[in-house]
Structure 1
Amino acid sequence: MPEHGIHTIDTGYVRPRFDAAYLVVEQGRGAFVDCGTNHSVPVLLAALEQAGLAPADVDWLVLTHVHLDHAGGAGVLMRHLPNARLVAHPRAAPHMVDPARLVAGATAVYGEAEFARHYGELVPVPAERVVVAEDGHVVDLAGRPLRCIDTPGHARHHQCVWDARSRSWFTGDTFGLSYRELDSERGAFILPTSSPVQFEPEAMQASIARMMGASPQAMYLTHFGRVGDVARLAADLHEQIDAMVSLAQACDGGPDRHRALVAALSEYYLERAQAHGCPLDAAAVLGVLEMDIELNAQGLEVWLDRARRV
């Protein structure tokens, strides 16, 4: 049986052990936290069956934020869950009712063909099934409280979910990325994740500090899975956020800023991975982190340019 009734589900997005959703089971009732893409829905329904629950037993789909690797399948999944309501941050909820802006933004990045291949058609969620979670909102799962708090930094519409039963947070992307391939004898290796649009380093630092104020025993990351030793990981994240900002500022104004920043981040993360004792060689480490390095560089550049306009 999963510890505290928390089931980790590999959504199958991009590669194995890259993107997780969670199923929390309490007294025969269920809540999903995040859901992956449309292509993930059969996997989530299979996990529900394996946990001994029917779709009608699910009361909640709680979204940490509406980036499509976390929420792209929400509309399709909700069609299978007749009694569930969707819980989202105030800035996120409107995009679940009308996903047109999500589609437009992602199509601009990926192109129509790639968007369709990765995500399919985004299905709206009826407004009457959407619950807007203000900071501190409590979701009641058969008497088990799941508390949502506002955690900007990765995105302004991000929330994390506190489960007092397990003394754990479902962190979405606020508490970084930790891939199991990079684990060593020291435990998990972690790095922050910025987003290309709304990365705010000071807000991310504050959100991490706020979560640590609850003295958590574990974090459930979307990318990927449960991690313990959270005090060490939080210190690592704080240090790296500062370092990423310094690297971005050093590359700003130079020729081909993006390429220089990708190179600087690659060198920095590789040095940290090697010091951590990650079992992969340098090329394999960079292969695992390639997509995230690119996105972090983009996020830092957007942050630099936004600060310049203020």
Structure 2
Amino acid sequence: MSTIMKLSPSISLIDGYDSNLTYRTGTYVLHEEKTTLIESGPSPSVSYVLEGLSALNIHPADVAYLIVTHIHLDHAGGAGLLLRHCPNAKLIVHPRGSRHMINPSRLIDGAKAVYGERFDSLFDPIIPVAQERIIELHDRESVNIGEGSTLTFYDTPGHSNHHFSIHDSKSNGIFTGDTLGVHYELLQKEGHHFVLPSTSPSQFDPHALIKSLELIEELNVDAIYFGHFSASYQPSLVFQQIREWLPHFVSQGQAIFDKQGNEKDLAETLHLMIQSELDQKKIPRSHPVYEHIHLDLQVCSLGILQYFQKQVQQ
């Protein structure tokens, strides 16, 4: 059964139960004249999205737009499948990502290299999207979805080169995908605001990420809507926590890379640092948030070490 969070009169969030975990990945629903979804999630999440739409009394045929912030499979892998159920919807995607939605073979190969035998359970099936159903929007372009509701797209690399963030004029909020990291809703529900960078393969660039953060900071938004997961209404705290943790991720990655360590070494080092922080917040080590953090650090560590490998090769 779907879990739906009402974030504002015009924005709902459907939990996609990514990796069979709650509060991990979701699909935003913008209740406007042109019903708009942001993030499909992976294909195994699509059934939850459809259940959520039904619970919100939205017929899939009434969806006008499906937007993906970037084309990593946990955000966009289910787009083709979801569009099969939403016959009138167009897919809005970053110009660097559209060809991979049309032909996802490289996406599939890249994900299999990272996730191995877990690929099928996490992402299968990956269905191509017909070119005529795709809209590319470039930096600072916008689309109107209802009275007083304009979505403006900002190129925000750092997590990936095919990433944009979407400003919503009605809420003065911005959908940031993974650019501003992961917001741990499980901790938020206990009164702890906690955000960590998302540094997954294969285009992580810490310098570009900080520039994207600065761009978003200048917009003076009231809310940040994360791909993982839900909203923060304390943008300044989001910026502070990314600025605090990103240098730790990078410096520890540099040290592990210099010692010719691997992603497991880096994930363990970062886990101990985060655990120390959460110990101070009196979060028990048995808390379910650690399952999320463990999965995130496995992928983040790969991305950081790939970044340093690329620096050597340049």
TM-score by length of structure 2 reads 0.91
Residues 265, 95 of structure 1: CA spacing in aligned structure 2 closer, same or farther, 3 A cutoff? Answer: same
2:184–2:289 contact (8 Å) kept in structure 1: no
1:38–1:73 contact (8 Å) kept in structure 2: yes
Name which of structure 1's ranges 49-58 and 95-104 shifts more when overlaid on structure 2: 49-58
Q: Could you give the per-residue CA deviations for residues 161-183 of structure 1, whole angstroms, max 9, x where no partner exists?
A: 10011011111111111222223
Q: Which residue of 1 aligns with 2:137?
A: 133
2: CA distance, partners of 1:9 / 1:271: 32
1:33–1:61 contact (8 Å) kept in structure 2: yes
Q: Which residue of 1 aligns with 2:294?
A: 290
Q: Which residue of 2 aligns with 1:247?
A: 252
Q: Which residue of 1 aligns with 2:285?
A: 281
Q: Supply the AA of the counterpart residue of 1:137.
A: E
Q: Which runs of structure 2 are paired with 1:30-109 in the superposition (5 Å)?
A: 30-109=35-114
Number of residue pairs aligned between Structure 1 and Structure 2: 307
Shift of 1:12: 1.4
2: CA distance, partners of 1:96 / 1:231: 34
Name which of structure 1's ranges 277-286 and 162-171 shifts more when overlaid on structure 2: 277-286
Q: Which residue of 1 aligns with 2:28?
A: 22
Name which of structure 1's ranges 136-145 and 166-175 shifts more when overlaid on structure 2: 136-145
Shift of 1:259: 3.9
Residues 3, 183 of structure 1: CA spacing in aligned structure 2 closer, same or farther, 3 A cutoff? Answer: closer
Shift of 1:121: 2.1
Residues 125, 259 of structure 1: CA spacing in aligned structure 2 closer, same or farther, 3 A cutoff? Answer: closer
Q: Could you give the per-residue CA deviations for residues 234-274 of structure 1, whole angstroms, max 9, x where no partner exists?
A: 11101211222111222232153434322321122222323
Secondary structure (helix, strand or coil) at the match of 2:31 reads strand
Q: Supply the AA of the counterpart residue of 1:289.
A: I
2: CA distance, partners of 1:37 / 1:262: 24
1: CA distance, partners of 2:92 / 2:164: 10
RMSD of aligned alpha carbons:
1.9
2: CA distance, partners of 1:51 / 1:59: 16
Identity of aligned residues (%): 32
Q: Which of 297, 304, 313 is equivalent to 1:300?
A: 304
Q: Which residue of 2 aligns with 1:218?
A: 223
1: CA distance, partners of 2:143 / 2:265: 45
2: CA distance, partners of 1:207 / 1:61: 23
Secondary structure (helix, strand or coil) at the match of 1:272 reads helix
2: CA distance, partners of 1:9 / 1:199: 27
Secondary structure (helix, strand or coil) at the match of 1:252 reads helix
2: CA distance, partners of 1:2 / 1:255: 45
Q: Which residue of 2 aligns with 1:7?
A: 12
1: CA distance, partners of 2:14 / 2:285: 28
Q: Could you give the per-residue CA deviations for residues 6-31 of structure 1, whole angstroms, max 9, x where no partner exists?
A: 1111011111111111010113x310
Shift of 1:283: 7.3
Name which of structure 1's ranges 70-79 and 37-46 shifts more when overlaid on structure 2: 37-46
2: CA distance, partners of 1:184 / 1:74: 29
1: CA distance, partners of 2:170 / 2:195: 25
Q: Supply the AA of the counterpart residue of 1:299.
A: G
Q: Which residue of 2 aligns with 1:228?
A: 233
1: CA distance, partners of 2:94 / 2:214: 20
2:223–2:235 contact (8 Å) kept in structure 1: yes
Secondary structure (helix, strand or coil) at the match of 1:299 reads helix
1: CA distance, partners of 2:106 / 2:255: 34
Secondary structure (helix, strand or coil) at the match of 1:162 reads strand
Residues 67, 99 of structure 1: CA spacing in aligned structure 2 closer, same or farther, 3 A cutoff? Answer: same
Shift of 1:107: 2.5
Secondary structure (helix, strand or coil) at the match of 1:61 reads strand
Residues 186, 46 of structure 1: CA spacing in aligned structure 2 closer, same or farther, 3 A cutoff? Answer: closer
Q: Which residue of 1 aligns with 2:3?
A: none
Residues 35, 83 of structure 1: CA spacing in aligned structure 2 closer, same or farther, 3 A cutoff? Answer: same
Q: Supply the AA of the counterpart residue of 2:17.
A: G
